[in-house]
Structure 1
Amino acid sequence: MRLLDTLRRLPQPVTAARLAAETEISTRQLYRDIATLRAGGVLVDGTAGYGYTLTEDPTLPPQSFSRLEIEALMLGVASLGDLGDAALTIAGRNALARIVATLPDRQARQAAHATMRSWRPTEPRAPITIALDLLRQACWDEFSVRITYRDAHDRRSEREILPLGMSYSPRTLMLVAWCLLRQGYRTFEVARIDTLMRGTTSFRPRRVQLLRDYVALRAAEWKIKDQQAALPMP
């Protein structure tokens, strides 16, 4: 499966040396694995010294997209690189490679020559030093985390929070959470979190309801602000 994923992801034809390096095996083992894939019905064209091309992958069902849908997929995954989240970017590229591998030849060529591009913002993003994988896992599995946080005035605080979701913007990454210290919703700039550790509090299955309540609270606040802004000036 690792070899198949690599064949789907890399520009083809892919040399044996590149495939072996990507999958962390010897070239001799790679040749055996290529033979195993072919015996299993995977159509891999090419030979040693030239490179390999995955032309038919029976492990994935066929897909079909319009040209604009293909452009949207390519543009969306390319835009992940602007977020400064390496793991998310790699995951998106791997998922896209699996999708492209299921396309008919004509549509696969359209994906390879997409006309739309995404460019990184000129404004630098604040660096993130904590383990985003742990933060994501805490959101998915609904357990608390302990953080050390610096606010805009560089004041430090330690608190335990229930992470609800993250919001990516061109400038920074924000975290919406329920703060156990303040007993209320708080929004944290992830780049200002200096330390992150797994907490001991589980809030399953409350995450969805907490998020709904947060959205309702913010919507009510925005409605009040809009009404105040519409009032005539005295």
Structure 2
Amino acid sequence: MARSDRLFRLLHAMRQMPAPMTAARLAEETGVSLRSLYRDIDSLRAAGAQIEGERGYGYRLVEDTALPPQMLDRDEMEALALGMAEIRAMGDKTLARAAESVLAKIGATLPEGRAQQLFHAVSQVYRPDAPLRSHADMDRIRTACFDERALRIDYCDKDGARTTRTVLPLAVMYTERCLTLLAWCTLREAFRMFRGDRIVTVEDGGHSFRPHRAALLRDYLARLNASDAPAP
């Protein structure tokens, strides 16, 4: 691993892990030896990162000069914390990890008092019901949306009839009860919604539809707002 990548991983770990962090725990998290970890901490300190602690006592990242300072007021921090909590409650493990990472990175740029307000926000989320349902590989679907790659899916409709379709994935919609793929269906030659809990298999469709995703999505959302699109 390149040294720059190793230092970045160490900084990221120190942003996310609760302090104080032992050297052994940091070495395990970043995949280096204790000797390398001590050298890396010295390098980060030399670069301006304010890290409290020493060998045998644990470490704490006080100020991270790798990130610019953030000026967020109390309501902005409440909104951020609430939004990230909503994401963690949705049941999407990948985005839940990303939400934790976002909070850690932003918290690292705040003064200590402000950071505590962010991590101990007044606004909370309570979702006693089951998280959003999806049997599909949502990571793969999101990647296809980003990369503007067609997908081939096996899909069961509400009556249990199964079809194989090639679709152009445009966005993932988070509704109250399930994750839904918004896409252009080449079988129906129309915009369609595909519920994540009814998508049986997901495979690469074999071709790109770049750069049309943004225009197609704008068109589809306009139709949704006009209530012209069929329900999933």
3-state SS of 1:62 partner: coil
3-state SS of 1:31 partner: helix
Q: Look up the match of 1:37.
A: 44
Q: CA deviation at 1:180?
A: 0.6
TM-score when scaled to structure 2? 0.88
Give the paired residue count. Answer: 221
Q: Look up the match of 2:224.
A: 218
The runs of at least 4 consecutive aligned structure 1 residues that moved more than 4 Å come to: none
Q: Are the equivalent residues in 1 in contact too, given 2:134–2:196 (CA < 8 A)?
A: no
Q: Are the equivalent residues in 1 in contact too, given 2:88–2:99 (CA < 8 A)?
A: no
CA 1:141–1:157: 2 relative to 1, 3 Å: same
Q: 1:41-85: CA deviations, max 9, x gaps?
A: 211101223221111111111111111111111111121112111
What amino acid is the match of 2:165?
R
Q: CA deviation at 1:39?
A: 2.0
Q: Look up the match of 1:77.
A: 84
CA 1:186–1:101: 2 relative to 1, 3 Å: same
Name structure 1 gaps, 5 residues minimum.
Answer: 223-234
- 2-side partners of 1:81 and 1:70: how far apart? 16
Q: Look up the match of 1:7.
A: 14
RMSD over equivalenced CA pairs, Å: 1.7
- 2-side partners of 1:127 and 1:166: how far apart? 11
Name structure 2 gaps, 5 residues minimum.
Answer: 1-7
TM-score when scaled to structure 1? 0.88
Q: Are the equivalent residues in 2 in contact too, given 1:64–1:104 (CA < 8 A)?
A: no
Listed as ranges, the matches of 1:133-148 within 5 Å are: 133-148=139-154
Q: 1:159-212: CA deviations, max 9, x gaps?
A: 100001111123210011000111111100112111111112322111122122
Q: Are the equivalent residues in 1 in contact too, given 2:91–2:131 (CA < 8 A)?
A: no
Aligned pair 1:101/2:95, yes or no? no
Q: Look up the match of 1:197.
A: 203
What amino acid is the match of 1:97?
A
- 1-side partners of 2:169 and 2:67: how far apart? 35
- 2-side partners of 1:97 and 1:124: how far apart? 24
- 1-side partners of 2:180 and 2:128: how far apart? 17
Aligned pair 1:67/2:74, yes or no? yes
Q: CA deviation at 1:155?
A: 1.4
Q: Look up the match of 1:162.
A: 168
Pairing partner for 1:47 from 48, 51, 54: 54
- 1-side partners of 2:224 and 2:67: how far apart? 42
3-state SS of 2:78 partner: helix
- 2-side partners of 1:155 and 1:65: how far apart? 51
State, as a whole percentage, how many aligned pairs show the same letter.
48
- 2-side partners of 1:193 and 1:43: how far apart? 49
Q: Look up the match of 2:23.
A: 16
Q: Look up the match of 2:214.
A: 208
Q: 1:86-116: CA deviations, max 9, x gaps?
A: 1111112112211111111221121232222
- 1-side partners of 2:199 and 2:101: how far apart? 29
- 1-side partners of 2:119 and 2:129: how far apart? 26
CA 1:95–1:123: 2 relative to 1, 3 Å: closer
Q: Are the equivalent residues in 2 in contact too, given 1:145–1:198 (CA < 8 A)?
A: yes
Aligned pair 1:110/2:110, yes or no? no
Q: Look up the match of 1:27.
A: 34
